[in-house]
Structures are given as C-alpha cells and as structure tokens.
Structure 1
Amino acid sequence: MFRGVRAQGSLFGSSTLTAPWSLLFVDGAPLTLCTVLEGSGWILPEGHPPEYLTAGETLILRGPAPFSFVDEIGTAAEPIECGKECATPDQGGTRHRLGWHDGPHGGPDGATTLVTGAYPVQGEIGGRLLDTVPDILRVAPDGTADAVRTLLAAEVAVDAPGQQIVLDRLLDWMLVCSLREWFDRPGGEPPAWYSAHRDPVVGQALRLLHDDPAAPWTVSSMADRAGVSRATLAKRFADLVGEPPLTYLTRWRMMIAADLMREREAATLAEIAREVGYSDAFGFSAAFKRIRGVNPTEFRRALVELPDADNLPERVAASSGR
C-alpha cells in the first residue's frame, strides 16, 4: 500500500515567507503533506475549519479540493496560485518556487518556511491506502516524523545536485511515518490489512502473497511457510483480515491487474493474466468479473472513456445497465 504512494519531483514546493502572504494550492493532488519547518501560519482547507500550524507540525490533506496557506485569517495579501508549474513571484515578501530557499538559515528573522509534497495517488492499490485517510490528518511535532523533519530542514537549505530526489524521498518517509503513527495512536482504528501485519502468522502470510502474488498459493503452502497448521492459518487469517486467505489473494491479484491495465495499455489480457497467476485469459477474465463486477475488456474500455473516474468498476457497471 505504501509503496504505491510517492512524491514526484515537479510536485515538490518549498516556500520561505514573510507576512503578509497567501498561497493557494490548486494542483488538485489526491493527497498533500504540509509541514512547517520555521514560523507558523494557517491552512485553510475548502469545506473545513482553519488549521493553525506552528514549527514542527504537519498536516496531511485529502484532495482534490484546493487549500490556502496564509499568515493570518483575513490576510490582506493577494493569493498566489501554486501548483505543478508554480512561478516565482515577489509579492509582499512572499516568494514560492520549486526547490527554492532563501539563504543559509531559511530566511530573515520571523520568516515561515513551509514544505509541501503532493502525492498523485493513482490506481487501485494507492486508492486503497487513500481510503483509510481522513480529510485532514494532523501530525504532532514528535515521534519518528520529527527526525525526518530535521533532515528536511537541512536539505531545503542546500542547493546541490540530487536535491529534488532527496527531498522527494524524505517526504515519502515522512508520509509513511505519519500514517503509521496515526494508525498506531491510542484508541485508533487502523485498517485490518495494517493491523494483521503485526501478527507473526498472518503477517508472514500477507508478506508472501504481496511479494509473489502470481505463485500457485494454497492455504497449505502458506501455512507451511508460516510454520503453522492449515486450520490455524485459515482461522487466524479470517479473524484478523476479515476474509479467507485465498479470497484475499484473488482480490489482491485483481487490484494488481487493474493497475497493470492502467499502466500498460499495450499489454494483452493474457500477459496480465500470467503476471497475476493465471495461465489463461479466460480464467483471469472470469475471476476479474466475479470480483469487480465487470470484465477486463469493459474495464479497459472505461479507462479510455473515463480515465479520472472514481469507483471505475461501479461506473462501468452502471453505464452497462447492470
């Protein structure tokens, strides 16, 4: 789940700001991480109350609605639109561009340094992680993420080859640490697939399925690898994950297949079938329709007609009158 969500170079922004300022983020990213390295400011999410951020605090926002970062509510600053192609305006002391920093210490006294990472979450696997995240997730300035913030602050102040790659990966690291801390918080309700990874038996079985989904798995072969009986694995897996091991495997394979159809337009259904553990396209098509409600051909056609649609299988089924 985490592997499919990554910051990408053109979507990274660093801003060192002196009041008044107003940045309007309009790129519509499905997920955006905002962390204040120095100073403070207000995040104004569309449709939600304002969120005040001080140094060391992080906010994760679900898109695609735009949001603003301002020095104060009701600021007199004119909004500056920031997105994939954000320019470098000088307006009221506010400047913003990709990978830019203002001096060795981040800027003048009293300045605020904001780092944002936009995540173009795509496909079935990334979407499953996105479904577990609330519209706004606040991360406290402590825990593992705090160490990543220290590295971010140091890297933002360095203009060196490879900086963009380092910043992207640091943002990925912070996102994963932030989500783990949120899942593990007292009284939290993490998704079943996350909690189950902590179980020594079911976690091992899940890693096997994720690492090699095309293998000819049976409950017995998974149980042998996990070092328990078939009955023990079947019961613990169903109790912790919410469905039997082979049902989970089939759903996982169909998620991978759906993403492969998005990413590789030239691949045949037979090629995709083999990559997810089916010897022929017929058996794969039957399994895909059973799990997703539409056959692979209909799904692939909808990718062309509705490339940005949410709940694509349901949209295809509705358009087909089912």
Structure 2
Amino acid sequence: MDAFSDLFRGMRAQGSLFGSSILSPPWALHFVDGAPLTLCTVLGGTGWIVPEHRPPEQLRAGETVIVRGPAPFTFVDEVGTRAEPIACGEHCATPEEGGTRHRRGWNDTCGGSGDGATTLIVGAYLVRGEISRRLLDALPVVLRVDCGGGANAVLDHLAAEVATDTPGQQVVLDRLLDWMLICALREYFDRPTGESPAWYTAQRDPVVGDALRLLHAEPAAPWTVSSLADRTGVSRSTLAKRFADLVGEPPLTYLTRWRMTLAADLLAEREAVTVSEVAHAVGYSDAFAFSAAFKRTRGVSPSEFRRTGTTVPEPAGPTTPLRGRGADGSQVGGVLTARRRPDTARE
C-alpha cells in the first residue's frame, strides 16, 4: 500500500445518484452544499467555475476542475451572466449521513440543446475521517487539469456511460469518477512547476518509497529505524537521513503521526471499540503509552477526541504542499454526476 492509495481510500465514490444536464446559455448553477471536494468535468461546450473569493476559471471540453470545499462556488456560461443562479444541493443535503452534507441530485430549468450547449459532469465527494483529510489538506482551493493524458480515456468511458441507462450503471460511474479524480491528482502532483506534498514526491525514491510503503502496509508492526533499514536494504543512518531529507521528519515521527491518524478514525467510527483495543490495533501494547502519544500528537486525549471529534489545531508540517524537504513537526497530518435530459430527472 503506497501513501497516496492509503490516503485516497476514504474519498471513494460510492452509491451515488445520477442525472443529466445539458445547459444552454444563459445558465448558472450555484453549488451550495459545502462538499469537501467537488470534481467538475465538461464533456462538451464551455463554462466558467467561479469560486468564492477566487478568480474565475474557464473550463473547456475535456477539462476538469477540482474545487476544495466547504465554500460554495458557481458554474456559469460566462462571467457576469444574466442568468439567475439555481441552487444545487440546498434542499437535498443529508447531514445525518456521516455528518457531512452532500448532493442527492437537483432539478434545474437550464435544459436545452443546440449551439452553445454545455454538458457537465459533477462528482461531489465525501471525505470520511482523518486519513483522507491529510490528502485533502495537500490540495489548493481550485485545481485545474487540462485535457490530455490519462484523463482522456476516462472521459471517453464517461461520455459513453452517461448516454445509456443500463444495469450496473451506478457502480460503473462511481469507479469512473474515482479514476478521473486519481488521474487529475496525479497530473497536478507531477507537474514540474507545481507543488506536491513531500510524502508524494518521496515515494519515487527507491529507499524512502519502500520505507513509506512498509509503514503504510504494516503500521502496527514494532518498527525501529534499524528494522526498517534492514527491510529497505540500507544502513540505519542512510535511511534516517534520506527519509528526513525527503519527507521532512524522521521515520518514527512519521509513523507515530500515521498511527494517530488511524487511531482517530477508529475512535470516531467504532464506538464499541475500547481505547485499549484501538491502542493494540495501531501498534501499542500499553494503552497508557498510546494515550500519551495521542495527546502529544493531537492535543487531546483519545476519550476527549471520541467525545468531541476535534483536536487542538496543529502547526503546518510535512503535509503542507512542498517539494523536497518539508518542515519538521508532529502534525497529523458520494458522488453525483450532473446529467439531465431536458425536463426529466432521475434518482
């Protein structure tokens, strides 16, 4: 399990509802439900993403924009459009599902066809738990991905799938949106002039990449720097220096923060599990040692975190988007497609 895959696992599209939207100008869709992450892809035509307090971004056919919430944003035919914004998600949010509001579809009056029509696909992602939030925190508010690369193949499949109504369509669309999101994030993190988190770029190093994969695959193992060095085939000093240089903190500091992230999700999601059981699950034989490490890292005790679901804010650390050496510290670090046939909507 590599770090990117591990952090992505709580951001999967699952059990979404789908509709269709063919938009003829003038039009304006106002996304108000505060989804943590929204993926917008234009299959045909053009439009503008207008984030709150951010400059507009034009979106052409085949291009994708990822918007990090919870601030609302608008998708319009042109900046300054005369169209009255249609609220998407305002009356169909479901906060009881995991505590996060997300879209269940919308009905609009923008349907149409012909010259100037735009076909839009939207995926509104829930972010479950602390694990995926580390990935979310590494993203800018607006992430733009031009057409081309691996995303093009996904677009072809999406266009074909949303044009039909066949058994298993929801599962297929869920997976295609996941594929699209991964392609977009890879392209953004791989840009020579862009910014990527230290843990992402470090995965390419033959030594540190192997160490990260081991820590994510076996977080509860009794790791020492020496045992990790043995498994990666280098000396203890080489691993310690190389890991700190590329990731921005020592291997065992990274491991502790990762264990506390896993523990936070266990505490929040499994009420029947005791603190002692959580401690054992993340590699601690002593619940007291685990509680001390959790409070040192998260600012509150495991019991307090379970009761309130919050931790003391931490200073920026290696999860801040950086290339190369990061800052040292102990920071821990559903989906909908918008496709509506004119005057119809489907759940």
Question: Quick check: 1:260 aligned with 2:266?
Answer: yes
Could you tell me which residue of structure 1 aligns to residue 125 of structure 2? 119
Check whether the contact 1:28–1:65 (CA below 8 A) recurs between aligned residues. yes
Q: Secondary structure at the match of 2:29?
A: strand
CA distance in 2 between counterparts of 1:92 and 1:272 reads 50
- Paired residue type of 1:280: D
Q: 1:200 Cα shift?
A: 0.7
Check whether the contact 1:257–1:272 (CA below 8 A) recurs between aligned residues. yes
Structure 1 residues 135-188: Cα deviation after superposition (integer angstroms, max 9, x where no partner): 111101111122212221111112112212211211111111111111111222
Check whether the contact 2:210–2:232 (CA below 8 A) recurs between aligned residues. yes
Q: 1:197 Cα shift?
A: 0.6
Q: Which has the higher helix share?
A: 1
- Paired residue type of 2:144: R
Correspondent of 2:104 among 64, 81, 85: 85
Check whether the contact 1:213–1:277 (CA below 8 A) recurs between aligned residues. yes
CA distance in 2 between counterparts of 1:266 and 1:160 reads 40
CA distance in 1 between counterparts of 2:161 and 2:153 reads 13
Structure 1 residues 198-248: Cα deviation after superposition (integer angstroms, max 9, x where no partner): 111111111011011011112222112111122221121111111111111
Structure-2 change in CA distance of 1:302 and 1:77 (3 Å): same
Q: How does 1:123-202 map to 2 (within 5 A)?
A: 123-202=129-208
- Paired residue type of 1:240: L
Could you tell me which residue of structure 1 aligns to residue 236 of structure 2? 230
CA distance in 2 between counterparts of 1:189 and 1:24 reads 29
Q: 1:3 Cα shift?
A: 2.1
CA distance in 1 between counterparts of 2:216 and 2:47 reads 41
Could you tell me which residue of structure 2 aligns to residue 313 of structure 1? 311
TM-score, L = length of structure 1: 0.86
Check whether the contact 1:77–1:92 (CA below 8 A) recurs between aligned residues. no
Could you tell me which residue of structure 2 aligns to residue 22 of structure 1? 28
Question: Quick check: 1:274 aligned with 2:274?
Answer: no
Question: Quick check: 1:302 aligned with 2:311?
Answer: no
- Paired residue type of 2:147: P
Structure with higher RCO (Cα < 8 A, 6+ apart) = 2
Check whether the contact 2:18–2:105 (CA below 8 A) recurs between aligned residues. no
Check whether the contact 1:41–1:71 (CA below 8 A) recurs between aligned residues. yes
Percent pairwise identity: 71
Structure 1 residues 255-296: Cα deviation after superposition (integer angstroms, max 9, x where no partner): 100111111122111111111011132121111112222111
TM-score, L = length of structure 2: 0.80
Per mean C-alpha deviation after superposition, the further-off stretch among 18-27 and 7-16 is 7-16
Could you tell me which residue of structure 1 aligns to residue 68 of structure 2? 62
